Amino acid sequence: EDKVVQSPLSLVVHEGDTVTLNCSYEVTNFRSLLWYKQEKKAPTFLFMLTSSGIEKKSGRLSSILDKKELFSILNITATQTGDSAIYLCAVAGANSKLTFGKGITLSVRP
Amino acid sequence: DADVTQTPRNRITKTGKRIMLECSQTKGHDRMYWYRQDPGLGLRLIYYSFDVKDINKGEISDGYSVSRQAQAKFSLSLESAIPNQTALYFCATSDFSAGTYTGELFFGEGSRLTVL
Task: Please write the tens of the pLDDT for every residue from B19-48.
Answer: 999 999 999 998 999 999 998 888 999 999
Judge whether residue B1 has pLDDT over 70: no
Residue B110: list chain A partners with CB under 8 A: 41-42
CB contact under 8 A, A96 and B40: no
Mean pLDDT for chain B overall? 92
% helix, strand, coil for chain B, step of 5 = 5, 55, 40
How confident is the model at residue A83, as a pLDDT?
A: 97
Which of B:59-88 have CB within 8 Å of A?
A: none
Residue in B40, B96, B110 nearest the CB of A96:
B96
Tell me the CA end-to-end span of chain A in Å, nearest whole number: 41
Which positions in chain A touch B42 (Cβ < 8 Å)?
Answer: 6, 88, 100-103
Q: What's the confidence (pLDDT) of residue A52?
A: 86
CA angle, B92 then B95 then B99, to 5°: 150
Separation between Cα atoms, residue A77 and residue A61, nearest integer Å = 7
**CA-based nearest residue in chain B for residue A49:** B102
Residue B98 reports pLDDT greater than 60:
no
Residue of B nearest to A91 (CA): B103
Query: For residue range A36-89, what is the model confidence (pLDDT) as tens digits?
Result: 999 988 999 999 998 888 899 999 999 999 999 999 999 999 999 999 999 999
